[in-house]
A and B are shown apart, each in its own frame.
Chain A
């Protein structure tokens, strides 16, 4: 029987069995999907016909929880929206609430917030670099990235006692002032970190295997990127100026000098370059903030019960490590938000995945997914 079937296969001819598309499940427990994301992939051989992300495995309905908590209580939950970059979400929620209620944090608190958010951006980009390189087969950068991230987490731990979910940036200021030894330690870290970025670049940037896997892969054109709602470093890799820190400055970003990192190719490599350059800019921003840090109060006097004015609303956006983070709050005169919406960069960035991977090989899905820097708790919330 087998012989008969095999004899029908002519060299170079079509198979008598016919070929068919098949559907493969990637995840939800796939180690390279950065959490519990499930991808239903339709394949023709190794070529991807369609990628369908299935969300919801990490859905905790944080928005519903926030509707039933007071504003200060919500801050704790914002940590869990994006646990790799918790400071950014803390900041977004605190700033949105402050705008809604007409409060303003004192200057020292604002500078401290900037220092911690930029340190968080470094930590997040370092973890991303490791995970991205790991996804496409280079395991060493992961160890390098975590080595430096550890020192940033030590700085966080020294200040607020936590290493992952900080709850540090509060409405009206920050939780606690920094210790006297924080500034020298932070400066020492920056001096130590400066020569590390070229070290990572030596490992990856012009590595032939890395180039092969990322150059020209998953190209986002500016039009597609804007139309599909891609944001943050992923869109800047396509040359679109979209940094909220530049376009709609919050905190004191209009008082520090930094460049918006842009690349023009729009492929995985360009997105990688943008994030590497952003690390350099973050180091420079932190240095400027440390220089301008002056003694003073770290929080404003808040009323005993924080209430938003009736029928008020705010949509406030910041640039988190992953891109545009928007918080929509509706107040109804009670101590709890009537509506809280987290607009997360990962959610809109993951949407474009299907378009980017069509026609590429199945291994390229990991390269593209990694380069978009998505994180599942932020997608599912």
Chain B
């Protein structure tokens, strides 16, 4: 299945669960998910024949302070079908909350802890949501764009 076919298949199968599906200039299928259908869509993508995304390759986030949002990004891969999919979920930047995917892919446990640690996104329902890289008493979120700290200086261009 080419990426173009994958995109149109997702568009027709999950019309009510997604906001948009686009084929990027780098030939990747990028799907923006509706927040309420996030976990259900992931479950279906994992189990439905034809998709078979058994492997969650990566889960991370991108901070967009101008639009006041943080985007949680998942990269899925199918070992059987050899295709890739990018899932995006926008969460509010002031009070960032997203449902956990732990019940779909167990591997998200640490990925979500990392996003919680570095971006401050709270994954609801997560079994063990603690800081993973930074000290436990740390209060800031280092990968946010407006992060400042003593000793952290960004040199001007």
Contact = CB atoms under 8 A, between A and B. Distances in A.
Interface of A: 55-56, 59, 61, 63-64, 68, 99-100, 226-229, 231, 240-242, 247-248, 309, 312-315, 317, 324, 326, 328, 330, 338-339, 341, 343, 347-348, 351, 380-381
Contacts of A351: 107, 109-110
Interface stretch (B10-18, B36-44, B90-98, B129-137): B129-137
Contacts of B58: 315, 326, 328, 341, 343
Nearest to A351: B110
A226 B62 contact: no
Q: Is the interface of A mostly helix, strand, loop or mixed?
A: mixed
Contacts of A59: 133-134
A64 B75 CA distance: 20
A228 B106 contact: yes
A241 to B, nearest CB: 7
Contacts of A61: 133, 142-143
Interface string B131-155: 1111100000011000100000011
B127 interface: no
B26 A100 contact: yes
B145 to A, nearest CB: 8
Chain B interface size, as a band, is: 35 or more
Nearest to A227: B106
A64 B82 CA distance: 31
B110 A328 contact: no
A68 B154 contact: yes
A328 B60 contact: yes
B37 to A, nearest CB: 22
A59 B134 CA distance: 8
The 3 A-B pairs of least Cβ separation, nearest first, read: A229-B107, A343-B58, A56-B133
Contact of A247 (B28, B82, B107, B109): B82
Given A315-B28, A348-B107, A56 B135 contact: yes
17 contacts: A56-B134, A56-B135, A64-B147, A226-B55, A226-B79, A229-B55, A229-B106, A240-B79, A309-B25, A312-B25, A313-B30, A317-B57, A328-B73, A339-B63, A343-B58, A343-B75, A381-B133
B107 to A, nearest CB: 3
Interface of B: 24-26, 28, 30, 54-58, 60, 62-63, 73, 75, 77, 79, 82, 84, 86, 105-107, 109-110, 118, 131-135, 142-143, 147, 154-155
Given A55-B132, A240-B79, A328-B60, A226 B28 contact: no
A343 B107 contact: no
A64 B63 CA distance: 12
Given A226-B55, A328-B58, 7 more contacts: A55-B133, A61-B143, A228-B107, A229-B56, A247-B79, A328-B73, A328-B75
A241 B133 CA distance: 31
A312 B24 contact: yes
Contacts of B79: 226, 240-242, 247
Contacts of A343: 57-58, 60, 75
A313 B105 contact: no
Nearest to A57: B133
Contact of A64 (B73, B84, B132, B143): B143
Contacts of A380: 133
A380 to B, nearest CB: 6
Contacts of A241: 79
Contact of A99 (B26, B30, B154): B26
A309 B24 CA distance: 12
A315 B84 contact: yes
A37 to B, nearest CB: 13
Contacts of A228: 106-107
Contacts of B54: 226-227
A314 B107 contact: no
A229 B104 CA distance: 12
Contacts of B147: 64
Contacts of A317: 57, 77
A99 B55 CA distance: 23
A158 B8 CA distance: 51
A326 B75 contact: yes
B143 A63 contact: yes
A359 B157 CA distance: 55
A309 B28 CA distance: 15
Given A328-B58, A348-B107, A348-B110, A315 B75 contact: yes
Nearest to A61: B142
Contacts of A56: 131-135
